[in-house]
Structure 1
Amino acid sequence: MSIEENLVDMQSVSFQAALLYTSSKGERRIRVHTMCLPVVNSLSDIFAGADVQAITGLLASMAVDRSVTSSLSDARDAMTNASIDSLTSYRTSVLTIQQPGLLAPACLRLFPLYILALLKQKAFRTGTSTRLDDRVFAMCQLKYQPLAYVMLMIHPALYRVDDLTDEGALNISERAIPQPRVQQLSVEKLSREGAFLMDAGSVIYLWIGRNCNPDFLTQVLGVPDYAAVPQNMNLLPELDTAESQRTRAFVGWLREQRPFFPILHVIRDESPLKASFMQNMIEDRTESALSYYEFLLHVQQQVSK
């Protein structure tokens, strides 16, 4: 795309794309997408209107292409540099008073976190054994999934579900859908006395703490104790308890928001899938990757140079 006209006197510009395709019934159709955006003359306005999720999704797609055409190392460096360059530009071109610390516009405050999450994805991670098939599959997901599912893959949503209540619940089709608070993706937020559900887009994990509340085990999972939780449990039993109905309503509501059916994995500490669950704790340090705090320090050092 190139801009051929002078935009100084324009208040808005329009982008239009047309897709010619054949429907499942053999009909030839044209789908037209049009977007109208305002024209601004200051960087502060651009930063104020930045969509951090759209930027992250675009960078993920570009990083996949760069991994194929260049190298995985180049793709990782490009993503890190994108975070550093954007915050450096904000510091030098927008801020009128230089202050210590890492400063970012409100809409980009999560940008370093999302970049770190991308670096820890199977598609781009290093230092951890990753099968080629798994890496390529992750790359395809990042490149071709809708943005909402890409973001859940990059930064899953973590909820504590052993204490669900109807307080603040959504009422949909005469159903009460609990709305638990989203937790940080850190092991510090886990508790052996609780049960935590992680929505990672195409898969949902339900991690059961070793000392989980016995009432949750019996009234939601239908087992007498922790040792009785099956190793390969993928379905929540339909029990005639309020706790079971709340948990199943919440899981069902998450699934209804996407056109595919995310599989549910109930996992214990001894489960082989625990590693997949823990790898999504992106704010924690691993043997081959920085913690979120350490990554922020690295970005701050580069921005302050």
Structure 2
Amino acid sequence: MCNVAVDILKASTTHTPNRAFTLFVPSSLRLLPLYMLSMMKSIGFRAGGGSRWDDRAYFLGLCKTLPTEYLMQIFYPDLYPIHTIEDKSQVIQDGEDELHIPQRVHLSFQHIDSHGAYVMDACEYIYIYIGKAISDHFVQNVFNVQTFSALRTDLYSLPELENSLSIKIHNFLSYLTQSRPHGVAIHILREDSPNRHLFTRHLVDDKSESTMSYVEFLRYVRDQIVN
């Protein structure tokens, strides 16, 4: 799959002789390395024995049937910090109501803070990741518990509470899912959950034991093209 990315970009990329490391990639292909790397790290295509055959078969079935916009989201989910939804979000009018949309961040631990809470929209699943140092104010107003330690390890629904923060988060989740042609499952994960890998495996910008980071992959592709 690495070679496919290199061949496609090599056929459509130019570089100046006196600046061998400057590549000019068509705008339509600039995200190709990102999605190729995401595919290589996905359940369906990653090397090694870390995935069950049933999971691989299901994933490959999705690749054949899902519309492109949803398939891209499975490979590279949308990640939003929701602990700042009241302070740092885009506000748009939704009829008579205001809809608060947090700014998307890259899929990297660089953007994950133990003091934060994050929504990852992976098309079929929405993961809500709660950092272990999240404020008591947040868990009280969103989960109706007093502290992080009182939050159950894994939850599959978000309580609807009569306060501003809870309403903003529920409205945002509805905004993400309202146009989906299929149902979306919610999985809420604490930072110390044994299932936290369901969230962290999607942080494809980072390096893992067997795969390159996005920056390393870009360098690899560039070197293959210019050499």
Q: Is 1:162 the counterpart of 2:92 in the alignment?
A: no
Query: Which amino acid in 2 is paired with 1:199?
Result: D
1:195/1:212 contact within 8 Å kept: yes
1:234/1:263 contact within 8 Å kept: yes
1:176/1:249 contact within 8 Å kept: no
Report matched runs for 1:26-45 at 5 Å. Answer: none
Q: Larger radius of gyration, structure 1 or 2?
A: 1
**Structure 1 residue 174: Cα displacement:** 2.5
Give 2:19's aligned residue: 99
TM-score (norm 2): 0.93
Choose between structure 1 and 2 for higher RCO, CA contacts under 8 A separated by at least 6 residues.
2
Runs of 4+ off more than 6 Å: none
**RMSD in angstroms over aligned alpha carbons?**
1.7
1:117/1:155 contact within 8 Å kept: yes
**Structure 1 residue 82: Cα displacement:** 2.5
Query: Which amino acid in 2 is paired with 1:157?
Result: D
Give 1:22's aligned residue: none
Give 1:142's aligned residue: 63
Q: Is 1:257 the counterpart of 2:179 in the alignment?
A: yes
Q: 1:231 to 1:110 in 2, by over 3 A?
A: same
**Structure 1 residue 97: Cα displacement:** 5.8
**Secondary structure of the equivalent of 1:116?**
helix
Q: Is 1:228 the counterpart of 2:169 in the alignment?
A: no
Query: Which amino acid in 1 is paired with 2:132?
Result: R
- Between the aligned partners of 1:297 and 1:115, the Cα distance in structure 2 is 14
**Structure 1 residue 289: Cα displacement:** 0.9
Q: Size of the alignment, in residue pairs?
A: 225
Of 206, 211, 214, 2:136 maps to 214
1:282/1:291 contact within 8 Å kept: yes
**Secondary structure of the equivalent of 1:179?**
strand
- Between the aligned partners of 2:175 and 2:182, the Cα distance in structure 1 is 13
- Between the aligned partners of 1:102 and 1:269, the Cα distance in structure 2 is 40
**Secondary structure of the equivalent of 2:155?**
coil
Identity of aligned residues (%): 32
In structure 2, list runs of 5 or more residues that go unmatched. none
In structure 1, list runs of 5 or more residues that go unmatched. 1-78
Give 1:81's aligned residue: 3
Of 210, 213, 218, 1:291 maps to 213
Give 1:184's aligned residue: 106
Q: Is 1:127 the counterpart of 2:48 in the alignment?
A: yes
TM-score (norm 1): 0.70
Q: 1:143 to 1:149 in 2, by over 3 A?
A: same
